[in-house]
Amino acid sequence: MPQQPPKSKKKPAKIGRAALAALAAAAVAVSMSASPQTARAIVVPKTVSSASPLPEPSGTKTDLPPNSSLFFILDGAISSRGQSGTLVRAHLRDPIVLGGITAAPAGAPVQIQIVHATGAQLANVDGFVDIYFEPLTLATGGTLPLVTPTSHIDPHLTAGQASTRGVTDTVGDIFIPYHYLYHMLRKGLEVDLKPGTVIRARTGSELRFTAGSLAIVSPPAIAGAADAPRAAIKIAPVATPPGFVEPTPKPSPSVLPTAQPT
């Protein structure tokens, strides 16, 4: 019998990674088309409103007492060569936040009035400027009065610098001929505060956070010794002090009866 050729065994074909990825994607698409998914809504929980307001966190500032320091940055220049009555603009450097409410943001404008300005003169006379802070307008309404701690501005000279200048002029007058003419005709120093200079003011009233709002509270009037009220009568003490013994009243002399004519 003729021999039949041996049957060849077929090996299974290898499936590449790309084919596997394509099959997986097709299976996902078939499953999604077979059973469509319902869209899920995102539910945001509502905030529970309480009748009583929440307390302020610890460390929150709720008042700004009077005479507190506020710092402003000049937008214009203040000079002793300027004119009296000129207004110079400035802005608040740090915000004022009380109880979580911004009373005045950083950059809040304010005006500084030049009350009087005198330039430098001969004979070594320095110039000076007198300024006044206008009230600060708050973002919540109302105006906060400001006090000018340094209303009179003159060239800053330390005690040592002033003493050195005086000693130098004295020595020059002694050893240098006609030196006294030089410092007599010498012009003094000018006051020049450039834009960007930090200048300080103080609050003239108290800014208080109460009942969820801000209130401007004026300080009480200063009572002098002559203005203190005095009671017309002496008020009896509430309790008798210890060791107090009431003195025994002395009998007053009585008039003896005399016979009266009938």
Lowest mean pLDDT among 8-12, 57-61, 86-90: 8-12
For residue 143, the number of C-alpha atoms closer than 13 Å in the C-beta half-sphere is: 10
Mean of the per-residue pLDDT values of the chain: 76
* 193 or 55, greater pLDDT: 193
Domain ranges of the chain: 63-155+190-217, 157-186
The pLDDT value given to residue 213 = 85
Closest C-alpha among 96, 56, 30 to residue 210: 56
The contacts of residue 49 (CB under 8 Å, 6+ apart) are none
| pLDDT tens, residue by residue, 75-131 | 999 999 888 889 999 999 999 998 888 999 999 999 999 999 988 888 778 888 999
2.30.40.10, 2.40.128.260, 3.20.20.70, 3.40.30.10: CATH of 63-155+190-217: 2.40.128.260
Of residues 171 and 22, more confidently modeled: 171
Share of the chain above pLDDT 90, in %: 26
**Cβ atoms < 10 Å from Cβ of 120:** 18
3 state SS for the chain: CCCCCCCCCCCCCCCCHHHHHHHHHHHHHHHHHHCCCCCCCCCCCCCCCCCCCCCCCCCCCCEECCCCEEEEEECCCEECCCCCCCEEEEEECCCEEECCEEEECCCCEEEEEEEEEECCECCCECCEEEEEECCEECCCCCEECEECCCCEECCCCCHHHHHHHHHHHHHHHHHCCCHHHHHHHCCCCCCEECCCCEEEEEECCEEEEECCEEEEECCCCCCCCCCCCCCCCCCCCCCCCCCCCCCCCCCCCCCCCCCCCC
Higher pLDDT, 151 or 25: 151
Quick one: tokens of 3?
């021999």
> Does 132 score more than 60 pLDDT?
yes
Count of CA atoms in the C-beta half-sphere (13 A) of 149: 11
